[in-house]
Chains A and B, each alone.
Chain A
């Protein structure tokens, strides 16, 4: 697909020039040669992988016949099928919403820090956003696991937690660890869209804090907040490693862990790759929609932000 696009565009570029065929070819090669390894390895693999997954979800891996079996099975009732989809949606929606509610004021406050304080806050946020995967799962086991640091505090306070980490609320607490910093990093640049002079203007018109946020601050920030929510949602729903490390085939099921399980199941239970591909395409579809929404929501406000 990309190669086709290149040819067309390069053709358009060169036809304008009065030149011989050979020269045109040389110019074409000159335009694209340094990019060939990149386009072949990265472009080829990513686009190829997406295409392969779509066709594999409609195709029996053994007989090669085309069917809709995997798609029917994917949405079938039961904790391993529809339940996994619902769980994934619930955890992503909850996580993204909590991050938006807590992260927006947090980003605002970080934006108003200066110098070393700000550098430290951003560094800690960066660390949190990066600290995803197995190490994070392990630290949470030590914190909220059966014999964890915070579990002890909670039980001293009279709150029974025990294996709460492996249930939905525990997993949400874990997910927020890396999605909250991520959300903050995403909306932090947007905070400069709210100008300090507007606060003065509101005060001159005898408005208070509430009016300021209600009528000025939040409406200006709204597209950024919404796009941050969308991206945090997409990021949460695609998480695999923490869930895989914590749940290891027990407890709640999620789309991502189902994909991992189905791929591994192939060794023992026959090739399940069609169903795995169907779940992959489902996840891909959700993420693509989220990403498109993000682009759509944030493009115009971002341009405006750059201009100001």
Chain B
């Protein structure tokens, strides 16, 4: 600052400082430090997916920076890879199934907790902390062994169904929080009373009155659950010993250390996953600025959001 002033010798002398100095800047939090930090973190977040993109676009040996020869063949090639198509289909079904099952399991009791039985909400919120206190690999191991002891699930051990149940048990918290926040914001109790007074039963009330009013929360929750289920690796790895080949398992199975390798195809899927998450997050952020936003619904909701 002194150098700046030194360069302007003709500047009008400043008034003597008033007793109450006006703030130099409205709030500290703008300026060069901010821009440098933003730039560094932006680079840190954007370079790895870009590097994977360059790698997936390089025709020959890739040894850093920009590819020598560009090709799109690895990107177009994924449509011919039946094994990968099958993995994508499995992943998509699994993620959609997780969203559907989580919705069916969580939405009715949560609604009920608001209108009839508040203790239920406490129990649900406490249970929602469990997936956080238990690392996913630990949970996968435990759920797998418990399921072996349940007669009803006998014979399903190591199948896609078990992976689905595992995903549901781990992901529901990420659905519960935004939906819970949306419900309390929408005033579910009043809506319920109004609907009851008009002669609607609980199911009609939930479907036609509550759900339209908590849509932003439902969308945020579903998107989060979908994203987590899509990228989740440890459950399928531990429960099926990598036999149920969803996209993350496929990616690991095809890395060079594991024999049959297609590193560029793997990079294609990594870039695709990043873009998928970015698009989904952008939609959620734009939608969320008006109503419920992911980062402010619950302190721990952001854990994997």
Interface-located stretch among A17-25, A63-71, A73-81, A238-246: A238-246
Mark each residue of chain A from 183 to 207: 1 if its CB lies under 8 Å from any CB of chain B, else 0.
Answer: 0011011000000100110011010
Q: Restricting to B81-108, which residues have a CB under 8 Å from any CB of A? A: 104-106, 108
**Residue A50 contacts which of B134, B271, B293, B302 (CB distance < 8 angstroms)?**
B134
- Verify if B143 is at the interface (C-beta below 8 Å from A): yes
**Residue B37 contacts which of A37, A109, A155, A238 (CB distance < 8 angstroms)?**
A109
A298 to B152, CA, bound (A): 41
A235 to B231, CA, bound (A): 16
Please determine whether A135 and B273 come into contact, CB atoms closer than 8 angstroms: yes
Please determine whether B295 and A53 come into contact, CB atoms closer than 8 angstroms: no
Please determine whether B135 and A180 come into contact, CB atoms closer than 8 angstroms: no
Please determine whether B123 and A180 come into contact, CB atoms closer than 8 angstroms: no
CB distance from A90 to the nearest CB of B (A): 17
Please determine whether A199 and B27 come into contact, CB atoms closer than 8 angstroms: yes
User: How many residues of chain B get a CB closer than 8 Å to chain A's CBs?
Assistant: 108
Interface-located stretch among B4-12, B71-79, B281-289: B281-289
- Verify if B228 is at the interface (C-beta below 8 Å from A): yes
Q: In the complex, which of the residues B41, B169, B277 has the most CB atoms of chain A within 10 Å of its own CB atom?
A: B41
Please determine whether B141 and A276 come into contact, CB atoms closer than 8 angstroms: yes
Given contacts A38-B106, A186-B299, contact A31 B304 (CB under 8 A): no
Q: Restricting to B36-59, which residues have a CB under 8 Å from any CB of A? A: 37-38, 41-42, 44-45, 47-52, 54-55
Please determine whether A124 and B117 come into contact, CB atoms closer than 8 angstroms: no
Given contacts A108-B29, A109-B38, A130-B227, contact A119 B286 (CB under 8 A): yes
Please, which residues of chain A bring their CB within 8 A of the CB of B241? Answer: 264
**Residue A287 contacts which of B52, B124, B135 (CB distance < 8 angstroms)?**
B135
**Residue B105 contacts which of A37, A111, A213 (CB distance < 8 angstroms)?**
A37
Mark each residue of chain B from 113 to 151: 1 if its CB lies under 8 Å from any CB of chain A, else 0.
Answer: 100110110011001011111111111011101110100
Please determine whether B137 and A259 come into contact, CB atoms closer than 8 angstroms: yes
A209 to B31, CA, bound (A): 13
**Residue B302 contacts which of A142, A185, A259 (CB distance < 8 angstroms)?**
A185
- Verify if B270 is at the interface (C-beta below 8 Å from A): yes
Please, which residues of chain A bring their CB within 8 A of the CB of B139? Answer: 46, 49
- Verify if B251 is at the interface (C-beta below 8 Å from A): yes
Please, which residues of chain A bring their CB within 8 A of the CB of B252? Answer: 134, 244-245
- Verify if B232 is at the interface (C-beta below 8 Å from A): yes
A43 to B172, CA, bound (A): 11
- Verify if B296 is at the interface (C-beta below 8 Å from A): yes
Please determine whether B289 and A119 come into contact, CB atoms closer than 8 angstroms: yes
A6 to B130, CA, bound (A): 18
**Residue A45 contacts which of B143, B273, B296 (CB distance < 8 angstroms)?**
B143
Mark each residue of chain B from 237 to 265: 1 if its CB lies under 8 Å from any CB of chain A, else 0.
Answer: 11001000000100110010110000000
- Verify if A222 is at the interface (C-beta below 8 Å from B): no
User: How many residues of chain A get a CB closer than 8 Å to chain B's CBs?
Assistant: 113
Q: Restricting to A236-260, which residues have a CB under 8 Å from any CB of B? A: 237-241, 244-245, 248, 256, 259-260
- Verify if A34 is at the interface (C-beta below 8 Å from B): yes
CB distance from B23 to the nearest CB of A (A): 5
A46 to B105, CA, bound (A): 15
Given contacts A5-B123, A109-B29, contact A143 B234 (CB under 8 A): no
Q: In the complex, which of the residues A135, A209, A259 has the most CB atoms of chain B within 10 Å of its own CB atom?
A: A135
A2 to B59, CA, bound (A): 58
Q: Restricting to A1-46, which residues have a CB under 8 Å from any CB of B? A: 2, 5-6, 9-10, 13, 30-32, 34-35, 37-39, 41-43, 45-46
Please determine whether A204 and B231 come into contact, CB atoms closer than 8 angstroms: no
**Residue A139 contacts which of B51, B135, B282 (CB distance < 8 angstroms)?**
B51
- Verify if A226 is at the interface (C-beta below 8 Å from B): no
**Residue B124 contacts which of A38, A41, A244, A273 (CB distance < 8 angstroms)?**
A38
- Verify if A47 is at the interface (C-beta below 8 Å from B): yes
Q: With CB as the reference atom, state the residue of chain A lying closest to B117.
A: A31
CB distance from A171 to the nearest CB of B (A): 14
Please, which residues of chain B bring their CB within 8 A of the CB of A35? Answer: 108-109, 112-113, 117, 120, 123-124
Please, which residues of chain B bring their CB within 8 A of the CB of A273? Answer: 145
Q: With CB as the reference atom, state the residue of chain A lying closest to B264.
A: A142
26 A-B Cβ contacts within 8 A?
A2-B127, A9-B119, A34-B111, A34-B112, A37-B104, A41-B168, A53-B141, A105-B33, A112-B27, A119-B282, A123-B284, A126-B284, A133-B248, A142-B270, A152-B65, A188-B296, A212-B28, A241-B248, A248-B258, A256-B137, A259-B137, A263-B141, A280-B137, A283-B135, A283-B138, A287-B134
